[in-house]
């Protein structure tokens, strides 16, 4: 389940779009059968790396929707450069993906 991502050059800025698969459980919901609260399980950090340095980071709270979508614009990378995206959640699970700037 890699992060799906695209990066496209537009007016001198790189537009990155990413789609992750994650439950994004808030910790506020209760199990409908047992009444037990469902523990929070959500992505905390999404990092975009370019050329070995951090280009962009998103700190996510539980209020980001299930299967998070993230888009952002950055300047710096050129067409043909590879961007690495990765996320970590509050239970230590992680995933990553790559996109080549078009």
CA angle 85, 87, 91 (to 5 degrees): 165
Please give the Cα distance from 49 to 84 (Å, whole number).
5
**Least separation in angstroms between CB 34 and another protein:** 16
CB of 1 to another protein, least distance (A): 18
Helix (H, G, I), strand (E, B) or coil at 90: coil
Q: Does residue 34 touch another protein according to CB under 8 A?
A: no
By CB under 8 A, name the one of 68, 83, 87, 99 that touches another protein. 68
The residue count for binding another protein (CB under 8 A) is: 30
Instruction: Give dist(CA 102, CA 16) in Å, integer.
Output: 10
- Point out which residues bind another protein (CB under 8 A): 13, 15, 26, 28-30, 44-45, 54-66, 68-75, 90
């Amino acid at each position: 389940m890699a992060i799906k991502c695209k990066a496209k050059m537009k007016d001198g800025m790189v537009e990155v779009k990413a789609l992750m698969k994650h439950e994004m459980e808030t910790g506020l919901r209760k199990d409908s059968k047992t009444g037990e609260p469902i523990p929070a399980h959500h992505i905390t950090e999404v990092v975009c790396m370019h050329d070995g340095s951090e280009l962009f980071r998103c700190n996510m709270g539980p209020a980001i929707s299930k299967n998070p979508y993230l888009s952002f614009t950055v300047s710096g990378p050129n067409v043909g450069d590879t961007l690495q995206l990765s996320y970590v959640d509050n239970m230590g699970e992680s995933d990553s993906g790559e996109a080549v700037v078009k």
